[in-house]
Amino acid sequence: MAAYPLKQLLLLLGFLLLVGISSRVDGATTKKVMKKITAINKKGPYLGVVVPNSFEMNPLLQSGSFVVDEKFPYLDFSGRRFRVGKLEGEKVIVVMTGLSMLNAGITTQLLLSLFRVKGVVHFGIAGNANPELQIGDVTIPQYWAHTGLWNWQRFGDGPDDELALESSGDYTRKIGYLKFSDYNNDTEKGKSSENLLNSVWYQPEEIFPVDGIPEVRQHSFWVPVSNHYFSVVKKLEGMELEGCINSTCLPRTPRVIRVERGASANTFVDNAAYRQFLNSKFNVTAIDMESAAVALICLQQRTPFIAIRALSDLAGGGSSLSNEAGMFAPLAAQNAVSVLLRFVALLFS
């Protein structure tokens, strides 16, 4: 008879243990975290400041302009740290994304899903595709595109041939293509030979706007920044920026420039031919790995957005400056921070 109550007791303890475990893992967000998010949001809305990595974020945090919130200095969530505070007197949440489109998109979506955010400013450094600009210049493109989504055409097909799945609306030939044989280094009788890689056709992203019909896709290639934010940037075009690293100075003082287009993809572009293609085909200036992802999320969430990118090198080389990125990346990062601070001060003045 003594074994029966013991068995029942063990079953009861097992049940309680399972209930306790399920209460801890049921749902990605605990009650404690949700309570903190709610408290942070009561102080909002905030301007979201999104930055790719610590190399670009540290100059901001160390500038003295970022004042941490005393009660809620940060929230750690899904591997990200959302820093709460003020920048130039404006309430902000600063978050680092990590490298690449995927990380940038995930982080921006978390920012907009968790917090009351009235706008997003993304900043960092970028490669340069525009030969008229130089290292240290801070560019603010009006449009961003993800140029890494392709339909890779089979060998033998050309511009007049329909792409695979084009008829179903999944892919298009409206944006343009890169033909690899145009960049062959060898020729046959003075004429470029065909390349087995053939061509890749640039594709728009599928987007699902928050105010649209769920699961009904729309498409977007060139994503515009906020018209209001872009107009504010014009006031920055005369500001002074750093042009020297110790005793090494740039040929001219860097400047703030509004440009037409920037491009992002999961590719570090250190190739002169591709740089020239992006500039001639799409009029791209800034090349990076995150901005278009942030732009696409903000487009879907109907949140005002702008990206500030300081040029750290001429992608693929070609300037008179040796070891461009390694030497001038810190200067470019600091210039990006300087423009960010001035922009925030003007935006809500």
pTM score: 0.89
Are 99 and 155 part of one and the same domain? no
User: Residue 319 has what pLDDT?
Assistant: 55
CATH classification of the domain holding 334: 3.40.50.1580
Residue 196 falls inside a structural domain? yes
User: Which residues neighbour 94 within 8 Å (Cβ) at sequence distance 6 or greater?
Assistant: 49, 51, 57, 60, 61, 66, 82, 83, 85, 87
Instruction: Pick left, alpha or beta for residue 198 (phi over 0 → left; psi -120 to 50 → alpha; otherwise beta).
Output: left
Are 126 and 155 part of one and the same domain? no
Are 107 and 124 part of one and the same domain? yes
Residue 259 falls inside a structural domain? yes
pLDDT exceeds 80 at position 342: yes
User: Which residues neighbour 152 within 8 Å (Cβ) at sequence distance 6 or greater?
Assistant: 198, 199, 200, 201
pLDDT exceeds 70 at position 262: yes
User: Residue 29 has what pLDDT?
Assistant: 84
Are 266 and 300 part of one and the same domain? yes
The candidate with the shortest Cα–Cα distance to 107, out of 125, 120, 88, 118, is: 120
Average the pLDDT over each of 181-195, 227-241, 245-259, 315-329 and give the range with the smallest value.
315-329
Question: Can you tell me the mean pLDDT for 19-46?
Answer: 79
* 186 exposure class (CB count in 10 Å sphere: 0-12, 13-18, 19+): exposed
Residue 18 falls inside a structural domain? no
Are 122 and 224 part of one and the same domain? yes
| Tokens 């990590």 found at | 98
User: Residue 22 has what pLDDT?
Assistant: 45
User: Residue 186 has what pLDDT?
Assistant: 73
Residue 13 falls inside a structural domain? no
pLDDT exceeds 50 at position 21: no
Q: What is the largest CA-CA distance in the chain?
A: 100
Please state, in angstroms and as integers, the Cα–Cα distance from residue 135 to each residue in 58, 233, 286, following that order: 20, 19, 11
Total domain count for the chain? 2
Confidence of residue 8 (pLDDT cuts 50, 70, 90): low
Question: Can you tell me the mean pLDDT for 306-332?
Answer: 80
Are 234 and 252 part of one and the same domain? yes
Residue 314 falls inside a structural domain? yes
pLDDT higher at 194 or 37: 37
Question: Can you tell me the mean pLDDT for 218-237?
Answer: 98
| Percentage, residues of the chain above pLDDT 90 | 82
Are 108 and 219 part of one and the same domain? yes
Residue 40 falls inside a structural domain? no
| Residue that terminates a domain, selected from 159, 175, 203 | 203
Are 185 and 71 part of one and the same domain? no
Are 128 and 159 part of one and the same domain? no
Question: Can you tell me the mean pLDDT for 62-85?
Answer: 97
Residue 246 falls inside a structural domain? yes
| Residue that terminates a domain, selected from 137, 172, 203 | 203
Are 79 and 179 part of one and the same domain? no
User: Residue 328 has what pLDDT?
Assistant: 86
Average the pLDDT over each of 179-193, 197-211, 289-303 and give the range with the smallest value.
179-193
Residue 41 falls inside a structural domain? no
Confidence of residue 318 (pLDDT cuts 50, 70, 90): low
Boundaries of domain holding 136: 46-147+209-347
263-296 per-position pLDDT tens digit: 999 999 999 999 999 999 999 999 999 999 999 9
Q: Are strands 177-179 and 199-202 parallel, antiparallel or unpaired?
A: antiparallel
The candidate with the shortest Cα–Cα distance to 131, out of 333, 304, 311, is: 311
| Residue that terminates a domain, selected from 203, 220, 241 | 203
114-158 per-position pLDDT tens digit: 999 999 999 999 999 999 999 999 999 999 999 999 999 999 999
Question: Can you tell me the mean pLDDT for 54-66?
Answer: 95
User: Residue 107 has what pLDDT?
Assistant: 99
Are 75 and 131 part of one and the same domain? yes
Cα separation, 233 vs 312, whole angstroms = 20
Tokens of 302: 């109907």
Are 74 and 176 part of one and the same domain? no
